[in-house]
Homo-oligomer: A and B are copies of this chain.
Amino acid sequence: MIERAQALITDLYELTMAAAYFDSGLHHDDAVFELFVRRLPNHRSYLIAAGLEEALDYLSSLRFTPDQIDYLREHPVFKNVSGEFFDYLAGFKFTGDVWAMPEGTVAFGMEPLIRVTAPIIEAQIIETFLLSTINFQTMIASKAGRVVTAAEGRGIIEFGTRRAHGTEAGLFAARAAYIGGCIGTSNVEAGHVFGIPTFGTLAHSFVMSFEDEDEAFRAFLKVFPATATVLVDTYDTIDAVTRLVREFGPGIPAVRLDSGDLCDLSKRVRLLLDNAGMTQTKIFASGDLNEYKIAELISGGAKIDSFGVGTELATSSDAPSLSGVYKLSGLEKNGVLSGRIKLSHAKATYPGAKQVWRFRDQAGKYARDLIALADEEIPAANSNDLISPLLTRVMQQGRVVDADQHSADDGANTPDRHTRDSRFSCLNRARDRAAAELTRLSKTILAIDSEDEYPVSFSKRLSSERARLEQKISERRH
């Protein structure tokens, strides 16, 4: 795995608040925080949850190193803070419980993707990292779901590291895109670390570095006879394919179109290939693609077998941030959880620890979701099998629980979560889950130009709890 000193990847206020909690003696009180997206971004009708594995890795390994603590001690803001706080940080471990939607779960606005119950000081310190990781990967997996849906079964390869927000973003974009249904990535590290299938073609620079195009093709096909995807648009696409057919014949695994009118070119190239009996040679297309362009190519009858999608996928460029928030919803005092809400304009929250229930119709399609208190009994849940809870326990007292097998990871009889193989199995479960869940969405929600909103409601108990607290806050203030 990527080794990093992650404890300081946090906003300064998490640590100043921690110091103030510590000073107030509040740091032992258990708090409930929930991570959710209030409203889906423009052009999004669903989310695909992703990033949980990295979040759990972080939570289970989070420590402050002596060097980091020295840095904080010398920070001007901490000059009045007692040494005891830094001793506390030196022994810091995350000891809380975490419930979460497994990666690959389809989710909607207001639904907690993650619920953390932990001493408030711990729950606060982890906020920035959790948000950054979950917001990013969920955003990319959700975008990938759209692109994959538009391709109607044709393969999508994630290609965007060069335009991603730095190299780590490229790596995790590849991971999240795979969860969202891509068949692979061009990012080699994503193959090395996560086991994701990696694909490549060749660049214009390669073609240009030879005296002529044919010489470049020969040099590349000699080394990669069984896997080469030959780039044919450096000078003139149709010319290049005509010569490829004549000189190399059926041995060519695939050709790549990267510019021009991809729909028209793909048809002409397919015809050239088929007329030469090269029906096995695939056509791969790329060039600033997104879900809309892919849908248009397919509806135009383009003869394209698979697509490379870079910038727009790896940056989710039409909705380049996901505004997930992490909100305090309850605080335990003397063993009693009391709900907490925020009243600020348009940023209201609901109190208490929550569960999300999903209702399916008789055909198995998702009909609606209900957000309820975690300890609420949902009457229908016992009487039929068309309702299921979405949040499962993934961490107990700071230790990862294998959400897929519901067995505690006691470090002895469970496989190492950090081998390439185990990461890849985990990823494939998430990818399969996403694929299965997407088939249960109605066509109108799944459509890339959907304007429908999937029905999500709050339980009566949640709504009345919220009203009660509003009343209480308002009374206290007047």
**A461: shortest Cβ distance to chain B, in Å?**
20
Specify which chain B residues have a CB less than 8 angstroms from the CB of A234 in the assembled complex: 342-344
Given A224-B77, A320-B315, verify A127-B328 contact (CB < 8 Å): no
Q: Are B6 and A167 in contact (CB under 8 A)?
A: yes
Specify which chain B residues have a CB less than 8 angstroms from the CB of A17 in the assembled complex: 202-203, 205-206, 220
When each residue 161-186 of chain A gets 1 if its CB lies under 8 Å from chain B and 0 otherwise, what string results?
11111111111110000000000001
Specify which chain B residues have a CB less than 8 angstroms from the CB of A476 in the assembled complex: 212
Partner-binding segment picked from A128-136, A394-402, A433-441, A448-456? A128-136
Q: Are B315 and A13 in contact (CB under 8 A)?
A: no
**A46: shortest Cβ distance to chain B, in Å?**
20
Q: Are B162 and A173 in contact (CB under 8 A)?
A: no
Partner-binding segment picked from A144-152, A225-233, A371-379, A404-412? A225-233
Given A3-B3, A202-B16, A477-B235, verify A188-B11 contact (CB < 8 Å): yes
When each residue 202-220 of chain A gets 1 if its CB lies under 8 Å from chain B and 0 otherwise, what string results?
1111101110100000011
* A317 CB-CB contact with B under 8 Å: yes
Within 62-120 of A, Cβ neighbours of B (below 8 Å) are at 68, 71-72, 75-77, 79-81, 120
Specify which chain B residues have a CB less than 8 angstroms from the CB of A321 in the assembled complex: 163, 311, 315, 317
* A142 CB-CB contact with B under 8 Å: no
Given A128-B162, A205-B327, verify A200-B317 contact (CB < 8 Å): no
Q: Are B205 and A11 in contact (CB under 8 A)?
A: no
Say which residue of B135, B159, B164, B224 sits within 8 Å of A132 (CB atoms).
B164
Interface size on A, residues (CB 8 A): 117
Within 1-55 of A, Cβ neighbours of B (below 8 Å) are at 2-6, 8-17, 19-21, 23-24, 26, 29, 31, 33
* A191 CB-CB contact with B under 8 Å: yes
* A388 CB-CB contact with B under 8 Å: no
* A443 CB-CB contact with B under 8 Å: no
CA distance A29 to B219 in the complex (A): 15
Given A9-B161, A198-B12, verify A204-B344 contact (CB < 8 Å): yes
**A71: shortest Cβ distance to chain B, in Å?**
5
CA distance A340 to B9 in the complex (A): 44
Given A80-B226, A166-B132, A166-B169, verify A320-B322 contact (CB < 8 Å): no
* A387 CB-CB contact with B under 8 Å: no
Q: Are A19 and B223 in contact (CB under 8 A)?
A: yes
**A353: shortest Cβ distance to chain B, in Å?**
15
In the assembled complex, 28 residue pairs joining A and B whose CB atoms fall closer than 8 Å, in A order, are A2-B5, A8-B189, A9-B167, A9-B170, A15-B200, A19-B224, A20-B202, A20-B222, A21-B209, A23-B219, A24-B210, A75-B191, A81-B223, A120-B209, A124-B206, A127-B162, A128-B162, A128-B170, A165-B315, A209-B331, A234-B344, A236-B343, A258-B344, A259-B344, A259-B347, A260-B344, A315-B320, A317-B320
List 6 extra interface pairs beyond A71-B191, A165-B172, A235-B477, CB under 8 A: A9-B187, A11-B159, A20-B202, A131-B162, A204-B328, A315-B320
| In the A-B complex, the 5 residue pairs with the closest CB atoms | A12-B200, A13-B200, A320-B320, A168-B168, A165-B165
